[in-house]
Structure 1
Amino acid sequence: MRRMSVSSIVSLATLAVAVLWWFVPESYPYGAASEVSVGFNHWVEREAGTALLAASGVLGLLVAPAQRSRPRLAAVGAAVQGAFFLLVMCDASVLASLGYAMIPAVVAGVVALVAIGVLRRRPVAYGAALVLVGGVVLALTLTDALPHYVAGLATGFGSFAERIAWSWAMAIAAVTWAWLAYRGLAQPEEAANPRWGRTVTILAALGGVPYAVARLSWATPWPLGGFDPRTGHVELLAQPGGDPATRLQGFMIGMSAVLAVVLTLGLISRWGEVFPRWVPRVGGRPVPVLLAVVPGAFAALALCVSAPGVLATAVQLGSWLDGVLFVLLFPCPVWGPLLGAAVLAYWRRRTTAVSVAVGAGQTSARR
């Protein structure tokens, strides 16, 4: 029995969702009635959204059989599908949910690094451990940061879990169609180590700096602001007397942005190719290519599918200055493609180096 293609599966799922939205009107997650307005889908009402999704499903079913007989034409159709899901159906809920979920990962990463340093008897690690323990004690003593974060996360995901799930589903559809289009249209590249790799990697790393600076400043007496949903404006200065738990939570999200900057620079650093000696068990060994490529590609895709939502939010702010400041704070439209290009350059360089090494080894063996 012939297996059903990926494009057919996605298309049938798309038609099923369109049927659901048509017969169960309250299941439609977008439009002006939705409390979430971080995408162009906020302006797409149920009738139009259902019609567009049904048309996408039909087009997908037409594209599927053409993948074997007319692959180039099918790739163009897949590109149209990817553009539709990316520009119309995706929104910034993907990035928002990812950002808040990163806080535990950042905390665990910092604790792990400090613990490794202590076990390796690094003097700096002992000082970092004291600062870490002292910071945790102060946070638990002076603020209700942990209960505040847990309660906020539970409330947010409890209220918007269904909406976030729809955002991720549309993002998966967009990425799937984009991948099918890439497979059909991409040409093999001869350049193993593109000259632009280092430049785009540095630019991609800079993409997270504005947000990191704004959020890290919340731990200082001079906090910088961001988008305030209550006023609908981008505030340059946060309230000095703001809730300590909220400011601590913002600081931790800023640490996620710092981690993103550091890991991006790792794509052009020595430690991004070989584990540092102080890392237990794997120190001095080559970093598996996919260990860097998979999370890097995932982050780039999350930024790309959130880009239309960032632009839509900037438009809804009303003031052109607020819109510009918002895009500077969340530069997803350029940050995502730059990070994707940086990951691609890293993958080409590493895989080509491995191929060359294997080829040289086989030549030596023949001799």
Structure 2
Amino acid sequence: MRRLSASVVSLVTLAVAALWWFVPGGYPYGAASRVTVGFNHWIERDVGVGLLVASGVLGVLLTLGIRSRPKLVGVGAAAQSVFFLLVMSDASVLSSIGYLLVPVVFLAVGALVVVGCVRRRPVAYVTAVLLLTGLVLGLTTTDVISRYLTNLAVGFGVYGGRIAWSWVMAAITVGWAWLAYGSFTHERGTANPRWGKTVTILTACCGVPYALARLSWVTPWPLGGYDPRTGHIEFLVSANIDAATRLQGFTIGMGSVLSVVLTLGLISRWGEVFPRWVPRVGGRPVPVVLAVGPGLFATVVLCVSAPGVLAGAVQSGSALDGVLFVLLFPCPVWGPLMGAALLAYSRRRSAPPRESARVPAKIRPSS
């Protein structure tokens, strides 16, 4: 299985290199690209093709040595993963996830409000009032929503190809990382780490600055973010931005709020047992894979985006812009913290009962 995976990743790498070489206009990186959130912005086509050819050839050699020298292959796979992580990947995967989460946020909020109102939950009533307020203020009119969807379509039309290549590089990164992990992993205990709660809270805090900045777009004082057209962080956005843009910022901010809430679920009771008010599954244990699966996906996205965030900070207009950029997108620490929080959660959920709770039958007092 590992040999097949290594072969596939290597052949995909060589195929991408061949495509970039024979179709010069298909090369997505370099100074001509308008996306600067990655070190690949400094890699021109000839160098990029050469790097991928070298990586593909090395991958073929590693494939041939998987059975005879598994540890050496593990080192090579780790080096390949680091190369694609630091050099070829970028933060476009993170931005695309943020925009794709918008319909998920709409559906999730709507479903929770309906269920909460039926179950007579005060929070649901408050949320319903806020949504009605948005209708009154004109944030969710038909015209605003249509212009908002048009903005999203135009954005993906312009950057869709570039984002797709970022996902290809991210997939190759994960492929080599998985092979490296399989070469060195071994069974470990399932002790309950004491640092799990602290790490989880820190992880949740990483998403707060961006959430606050985006949610402020429905106030008279909208805080800004990274502007790819100028490469600068605009702290205070013009108060005259249209309602569609305000709605766009608000929904992306709600996605960040959702990530914060779900992260805190790793140390909350409802992260282990479904709340009673949830239809059908209320009161049942939360499957570990239901929390760890999406969390691992988020961890990979954050780690892959980390070098691009640093590159974006370096290319910002000033030191202050760079600091604000990393504050809004703290992927270099967010990804590792998320991985640690998931590790603590999975170990706690899979840990056996405490020995003190086990009383052997032969020493139990007779009734």
Instruction: Quote the Cα distance in structure 1 between the aligned partners of 2:330 and 2:25.
Output: 33
Instruction: Quote the Cα distance in structure 2 between the aligned partners of 1:124 and 1:141.
Output: 21
Instruction: Quote the Cα distance in structure 2 between the aligned partners of 1:339 and 1:62.
Output: 34
Residue type at the aligned position of 1:21: W
Output aligned runs, 1:285-296, within 5 Å: 285-296=284-295
Instruction: Quote the Cα distance in structure 1 between the aligned partners of 2:300 and 2:150.
Output: 29
1:107 aligns with 2:106: yes
- Do the aligned residues in 2 keep the contact of 1:225 with 1:236 (CA within 8 Å)? yes
Instruction: State the Cα distance separating 1:137 from its structure 2 match.
Output: 5.3
Output aligned runs, 1:201-216, within 5 Å: 201-216=200-215
Post-superposition Cα deviations, 1:273-317, rounded to whole Å, max 9, x if no partner, equal 000011111001000111101111111111111111111111111
Output aligned runs, 1:17-96, within 5 Å: 17-96=16-95
Residue type at the aligned position of 1:214: A
Q: Which residue of 1 aligns with 2:250?
A: 251
Q: Which segment is superposed worse, 231-240 or 278-287?
A: 231-240
Q: Which segment is superposed worse, 139-148 or 319-328?
A: 139-148
TM-score, normalised relative to structure 2: 0.91
255 and 124 in structure 1: CA distance in 2 versus 1, 3 angstrom threshold: closer
128 and 34 in structure 1: CA distance in 2 versus 1, 3 angstrom threshold: closer
Instruction: State the Cα distance separating 1:205 from its structure 2 match.
Output: 0.5
Instruction: Quote the Cα distance in structure 2 between the aligned partners of 1:139 and 1:295.
Output: 34
- Do the aligned residues in 2 keep the contact of 1:93 with 1:167 (CA within 8 Å)? yes
Residue type at the aligned position of 1:188: E
Residue type at the aligned position of 2:220: P
Q: Which residue of 1 aligns with 2:365?
A: none
Q: Which segment is superposed worse, 289-298 or 114-123?
A: 114-123
Q: Which residue of 2 aligns with 1:132?
A: 131
276 and 64 in structure 1: CA distance in 2 versus 1, 3 angstrom threshold: same
Instruction: State the Cα distance separating 1:225 from its structure 2 match.
Output: 1.7
Secondary structure of the 1:237 match is: coil
Q: Which residue of 2 aligns with 1:314?
A: 313
Q: Which segment is superposed worse, 269-278 or 211-220?
A: 211-220
Residue type at the aligned position of 1:25: P
Instruction: State the Cα distance separating 1:235 from its structure 2 match.
Output: 2.2
271 and 141 in structure 1: CA distance in 2 versus 1, 3 angstrom threshold: closer
Give ranges in structure 1 of 5+ residues lacking alignment.
none
Instruction: State the Cα distance separating 1:24 from its structure 2 match.
Output: 1.6
Residue type at the aligned position of 2:254: M
Instruction: State the Cα distance separating 1:244 from its structure 2 match.
Output: 2.4
Residue type at the aligned position of 2:319: W
Instruction: Quote the Cα distance in structure 2 between the aligned partners of 1:138 and 1:345.
Output: 44
1:193 aligns with 2:192: yes
Instruction: Quote the Cα distance in structure 1 between the aligned partners of 2:215 and 2:233.
Output: 17
Instruction: Quote the Cα distance in structure 2 between the aligned partners of 1:124 and 1:309.
Output: 38
Residue type at the aligned position of 1:100: Y
Output aligned runs, 1:162-311, within 5 Å: 162-311=161-310
254 and 3 in structure 1: CA distance in 2 versus 1, 3 angstrom threshold: closer
Secondary structure of the 2:349 match is: helix
Instruction: State the Cα distance separating 1:234 from its structure 2 match.
Output: 1.5
- Do the aligned residues in 2 keep the contact of 1:215 with 1:251 (CA within 8 Å)? yes
Instruction: Quote the Cα distance in structure 2 between the aligned partners of 1:54 and 1:304.
Output: 24
- Do the aligned residues in 2 keep the contact of 1:310 with 1:332 (CA within 8 Å)? yes
Post-superposition Cα deviations, 1:254-289, rounded to whole Å, max 9, x if no partner, equal 111111011001011110000001111100100011
- Do the aligned residues in 2 keep the contact of 1:310 with 1:330 (CA within 8 Å)? yes
Residue type at the aligned position of 1:64: T
Give ranges in structure 2 of 5+ residues lacking alignment.
362-367
Instruction: Quote the Cα distance in structure 1 between the aligned partners of 2:249 and 2:8.
Output: 40
Instruction: State the Cα distance separating 1:35 from its structure 2 match.
Output: 1.8
Instruction: Quote the Cα distance in structure 2 between the aligned partners of 1:49 and 1:250.
Output: 35
Residue type at the aligned position of 2:149: V
1:349 aligns with 2:344: no
Residue type at the aligned position of 1:113: L
Instruction: State the Cα distance separating 1:67 from its structure 2 match.
Output: 2.2
Post-superposition Cα deviations, 1:117-154, rounded to whole Å, max 9, x if no partner, equal 12223355345334324424543576843112211111
201 and 147 in structure 1: CA distance in 2 versus 1, 3 angstrom threshold: same
Task: Calculate the aligned-residue CA RMSD, in Å.
Answer: 2.2
Q: Which residue of 2 aligns with 1:122?
A: 121
154 and 23 in structure 1: CA distance in 2 versus 1, 3 angstrom threshold: same
Residue type at the aligned position of 1:271: W
Secondary structure of the 2:280 match is: coil
- Do the aligned residues in 2 keep the contact of 1:143 with 1:245 (CA within 8 Å)? no
Secondary structure of the 1:5 match is: helix
Residue type at the aligned position of 1:145: V
